[in-house]
Amino acid sequence: MTERSTAILGGGALGLTLAWRLAQAGERVVVFEREQEAGGLAAGFRVGAAGEVAAPWLEKFYHHLFATDRDAIALIEELGLGDKLTWRAPNSSMLIGGKPYRLDSDPRSILALSPLSLLDRLRLGAGGAILKFLPSPEPLAGATAASWLSRWMGRPAYETIWKPMLEGKFGARADEIAMPWMWARAHYRSLRLGYLHGGFQQIYEALAAGIVARGGEVRLGAEVRALTPQGQPDGGLRVSSAAGEEDFARVISTLPTRVTCRITPDLPADYRARYEWGEAFGAHCLILALDRSLLPKHIYWLAIGDAGYPFLSAIEHTNFIGPEEYGGRRLVYFGNYVPMDHPVLRETPEQALARYLPGIQRLNPAFEREWITQMWGFAAPWAQPIVTREYPRHIPPHETPIPNLYVANMFQVYPQDRGQNYSIRLANRLAARLLAG
């Protein structure tokens, strides 16, 4: 390994984009990725018969882009994948009182939301317009989403729409979520959604291939266990991974800040006191391949507003991207965010199905197990930061007190909700800064 080499921990959107930018500039990079494939939370698996190598990728966790995701779109173009990017306005709905109601940023869907009175619909629409047109979240700093939304959009709209959404995503922490985060969700959302035919994994495969073509390495199945500074001020760092120990001039960790702290005992106490902070939920998805469609009205995204369901959303991917691309399979995700010690994160797909089955049958009483032709289950820790009002004060800078050790991770994305775009943007910006010296 040369003196000037950089180790990048994590082969998700952030780590791979960063490695790609540095490799493009002629730097030697090594990406260490714990999993057996690149892509992190946006990674896919092949939907096909066992061993069918040309089968399309499907994300382990449902993914699409918004029209405002400019950095992700630019990267897709740069990698020559632009002609696979498609934009559509699939049906996004919410289940309220047992019935699905179309609910997206189209004002007509809000006006037709009959579970709310006309006055409450107008308040909901007006509140949404404020969030869309307010250019910055500055005036909202200090407010929780629960207090702002119920005050400005009215209690009925809050109880019917926002509370189930916040509780679905943040559980018992729902009341603590910061309003600027909610502003960003409303502000940057677009009616049209983007998807990459063949799966977003193609971005990560292309990045990994590009890095290797420029002399870098992407090591899969390479969990990093420890980082040790090799003497001040310019001694570089030792990376200890499953494959052994190696020294690098610079290390950039894209792991959650708390994980970086855990594997770097030399980070000082005052740094830890401020940045080894906060909580995150894990994500779980059960994906069923069915021999027929599950959701009514060609719904793509169904947020569950009714109490008592064991999942927070049902997403029929093939109501967005047709089943003909997946050998006729109808692909439906059942998604959940849960505390990281929740048992579902360790369950087999069969066990998760047993847990979710009553909810699936409640969604579509005609559903029978015989409809299922294949199923997959995926779980990931550190999938959703709990963005409370204190959150921004605990976002670390890229530099750490250890020379040549940088942190760059999706927990630094704020107030936007984490997304491929924001990890790519962060990587682009940090790479430009590092390359500028």
Ligand X SMILES: Cc1cc2nc3c(=O)[nH]c(=O)nc-3n(C[C@H](O)[C@H](O)[C@H](O)COP(=O)(O)OP(=O)(O)OC[C@H]3O[C@@H](n4cnc5c(N)ncnc54)[C@H](O)[C@@H]3O)c2cc1C
- Which residue ranges make up the site for ligand X (CB under 6 A)? 9-15, 32-35, 40-42, 61-65, 223-224, 254-255, 259, 283, 335, 380, 383, 409-410, 418-421, 423
Q: How far is the CB of 63 from ligand X (least distance, A)?
A: 4
CB burial string 263-286: b at 16+ within 10 A, e below:
bbeebeeebeeebbbbebbbbbbb
Strand ranges across the sheet with 29-32? 217-219, 29-32, 6-9, 250-253, 405-407
Residue 240 amino acid letter:
S
Among 217, 210, 264, which Cα is nearest to 237's?
Answer: 264
Residue (254 or 264) nearer to ligand X, CB: 254
Strand partners, 404: none
Among 351, 406, 71, which Cα is nearest to 227's?
Answer: 406
Instruction: Write the burial class of residue 420 (CB in 10 Å: 0-12 exposed, 13-18 middle, 19+ buried).
Output: buried
Q: How far is the CB of 4 from ligand X (least distance, A)?
A: 22
Residue (13 or 303) nearer to ligand X, CB: 13
Q: How far is the CB of 215 from ligand X (least distance, A)?
A: 21
Residue (61 or 183) nearer to ligand X, CB: 61
How many other C-beta atoms are found inside a 10 Å radius of the C-beta of residue 218?
23
Residue (34 or 250) nearer to ligand X, CB: 34
Residue (149 or 280) nearer to ligand X, CB: 280
Residue (160 or 201) nearer to ligand X, CB: 201
Asked if 330 and 321 count as a contact pair (C-beta separation under 8 A), the reply is no
Residue (128 or 419) nearer to ligand X, CB: 419
Residue 210 has phi, psi (to 5 degrees) of: -65, -40
N- to C-terminal Cα distance for the chain?
A: 21
Residue 404 amino acid letter:
N
Among 393, 387, 362, 425, which Cα is nearest to 95's?
Answer: 362
Which pair of tokens denotes residue 59? 């994300």
Q: How far is the CB of 41 from ligand X (least distance, A)?
A: 3
Report the residue number whose CB is nearest to ligand X.
Answer: 40
Asked if 127 and 185 count as a contact pair (C-beta separation under 8 A), the reply is no
Residue 181 has phi, psi (to 5 degrees) of: -65, -40
Rg, Å, the chain Cα set: 22
List Cβ neighbours of 189 (8 Å cut-off, separation of 6 or more).
66, 68, 105
How many other C-beta atoms are found inside a 10 Å radius of the C-beta of residue 255?
24
Residue (41 or 288) nearer to ligand X, CB: 41
Residue (63 or 121) nearer to ligand X, CB: 63
